[in-house]
């Protein structure tokens, strides 16, 4: 199993680079960041520094979207980093939550997202693609490689990930939901004539290593609120009790009363008081190292190829070190 580290690009950028270097020393192979231009600093500038100061780490956004950047600019940015540092990027992409909503826009449609996945990948790898009716190609790209991994929850998005994406990003670590959603992605890939095992499966969730479960829950409760934004969209589209979306995912947002993006992805987010302990425990990895190892082994049995640690809490360095000393070796022994 591979491991990734997910950070927000809060200033100073040097701290983000330092944590990514620490992660690589501890056996992490991927470095991810949020991509929301208003809330945080520009990630692609910081990727250049991360790549410069690491040896093998693969970096990318978790996740960008097809609305805040034009597709040829996104592709060119990835291709430039790959040309400089040797194909060490991955494009995580979704419809757009905070990046779009904070700027007063709606998330992108799945149709637009599906088109963007192919165009960005083709352009970044040196092939011609059509953008707004105009055929384009980046003539300077040589040997470029850009895997595009798609974040999804709902049935139509899961199907699109299986049909189009190189990888599937699931932002929660509940084994029951993971099994269901991985199955949906694999089935869609197979139905589209693809090898279902060719789709990389990445589960991303907060991890907090320690014996004080109450404190760990409070540090990670924000994640249930972040997931709740996407769940609320699913409920508005499919209803509260739909055969297409499991109650295990949607039932906890009944008491949700809005969301303040100024606290997005941060411990102590006051917009996440509605998230019960049960959801925090299901969606996150909490407790001593042995509990993390047990849950990760269960996820690995479900076909998960990478676990990406959301590291937005008061024990960033300790979590990275605990994963490096105890958890990653146990999963890769």
Q: Which residues contact 192 (CB under 8 A, 6 or more apart)?
A: 162, 163
Tell me 331's DSSP state. Answer: H
Alpha carbons 225 and 257: distance in angstroms, whole number: 11
In degrees and rounded to multiples of 5, residue 204 shows phi and psi of -125, 130
Element of type H or E holding 287: strand 285-287
DSSP 141-191: --S----EEEE--SHHHHHHHHHH-SEEEES---HHHHHHHHHHHHHHHHH
Say if residue 247's pLDDT is above 90: no
What average pLDDT is seen over the chain?
94
Rounded average pLDDT over 76-94: 98
The pLDDT score that the predictor gives to residue 146 is: 98
The pLDDT score that the predictor gives to residue 43 is: 98
pLDDT band, very low/low/confident/very high, at 105 (cuts 50, 70, 90): confident
Give me the percent of the chain exceeding a pLDDT of 90. Answer: 80
pLDDT band, very low/low/confident/very high, at 185 (cuts 50, 70, 90): very high
Name the region of 78 (left: φ>0; alpha: ψ -120 to 50; beta: rest). Answer: alpha
Alpha carbons 194 and 196: distance in angstroms, whole number: 6
DSSP 242-285: BTTB-HHHHGGGGG-----GGGTT-TT-GGGTT--HHHHHHHSE
Count of beta carbons in the 10 Å neighbourhood of residue 256: 19
Rounded average pLDDT over 161-174: 97
CA dihedral 96, 101, 104, 107 (to 10 degrees): 40
pLDDT band, very low/low/confident/very high, at 250 (cuts 50, 70, 90): confident
The pLDDT score that the predictor gives to residue 244 is: 72
């Amino acid at each position: 199993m591979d491991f990734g580290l997910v950070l927000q690009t809060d200033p100073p950028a040097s701290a983000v680079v330092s944590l990514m270097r620490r992660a690589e020393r501890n056996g992490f192979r991927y470095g991810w960041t949020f991509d929301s231009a208003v809330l945080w600093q520009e990630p692609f500038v910081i990727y250049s520094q991360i790549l410069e100061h690491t040896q093998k780490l693969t970096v990318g956004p978790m996740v960008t979207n097809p609305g805040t950047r034009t597709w040829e600019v996104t592709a060119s940015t990835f291709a430039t980093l790959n040309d400089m540092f040797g194909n060490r990027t991955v494009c995580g992409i979704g419809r757009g939550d905070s990046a779009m909503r904070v700027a007063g826009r709606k998330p992108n449609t799945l149709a637009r997202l599906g088109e963007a996945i192919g165009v960005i990948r083709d352009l970044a790898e040196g092939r011609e693609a059509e953008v707004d009716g105009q055929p384009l190609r980046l003539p300077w790209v040589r040997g470029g490689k850009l895997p595009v991994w798609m974040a999804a929850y709902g049935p139509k998005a899961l199907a699109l990930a299986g049909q189009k994406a190189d990888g599937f990003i699931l932002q929660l670590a509940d084994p029951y939901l993971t099994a269901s959603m991985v199955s949906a992605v694999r089935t869609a890939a197979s139905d589209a004539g693809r090898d279902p095992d060719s789709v990389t499966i990445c589960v991303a969730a907060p991890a907090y290593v320690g014996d004080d479960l109450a404190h760990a829950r409070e540090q990670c409760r924000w994640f249930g609120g972040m997931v709740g934004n996407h769940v609320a969209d699913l409920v508005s589209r499919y209803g509260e009790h739909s055969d297409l979306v499991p109650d295990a995912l949607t039932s906890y947002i009944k008491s949700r009363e809005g969301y303040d993006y100024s606290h997005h992805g941060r411990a102590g987010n006051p917009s996440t008081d509605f998230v019960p302990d049960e959801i925090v425990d299901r969606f996150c990895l909490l407790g001593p190292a042995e509990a993390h190892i047990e849950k990760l082994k269960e996820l690995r049995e479900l076909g998960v190829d990478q676990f990406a640690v959301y590291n937005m809490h008061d024990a960033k360095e300790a979590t990275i070190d605990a994963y490096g000393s105890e958890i990653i070796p146990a999963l890769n022994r």
